[in-house]
Amino acid sequence: MARKVPEINAGSMADISFLLLIFFLVTTTMDVDSGIVRRLPPPPDPTADIPEVKERNIFNVLVNKSDRLFVEGRWGDISNLRAEAKEFLANPNNREDLPEKKFEVIPYLGEYPVSRGIISLKNDRGTSYNMYIQVQNELTAAVNELRDELSRQKFGVKFSELSQDYTDAIQKAIPMSISEAEPEDIGGTK
């Protein structure tokens, strides 16, 4: 006579599996890659005239394939880049070799001299990602420090603590004017 094989009750197995799945989904963290925050300009109107930018209004930063900086026609150092960019954009003494300023009426600030300066960044195709990020961080930090200084001067608080209206005013007074060119073979091994 054939014996019956006892069956295992698997009715609750689906429930347990589902609960384990939910547990792991809720407790697992995902690494989120964060990029560099930049708002790209709209595409240029093909019929519009391209405005001339005076040479004094451009701060040239080149990074070669050996991760060496070439700032404003001379070899530079990453440790000085932030200070040089701040000096260029602020032009506190209105030097003729630094960018000109245009007075604009900005809400909450009144008439304010806005720098016409543009930081032009160009990388070699062989530039390391680490150096690229370091340069981006220093240039962004220069603008952020200028914004923070103006915010403290005008409103008595850090830029990050301002309301949206005041933030917009500071951003108009000190725009994030970083222009990045397409990487190419710049060269230089020194």
Map out the domains of the chain as residue ranges.
55-180
pLDDT digits (tens, 9 = 90+) for 144-167: 999 999 999 999 999 999 999 999
* pLDDT at res. 54: 84
Task: Dig out the tokens for 147 from the structure.
Answer: 């914004």
DSSP E strands in 40-151: the ranges are 58-63, 69-71, 74-76, 101-106, 110-115, 118-123
**Whole-number mean pLDDT of the chain?**
87
pLDDT digits (tens, 9 = 90+) for 27-61: 888 776 666 666 666 677 778 777 777 888 999 99
The residue that leads in pLDDT, 177 or 2, is 177
Mean pLDDT computed over 21-26: 90
pTM (two decimals) = 0.73
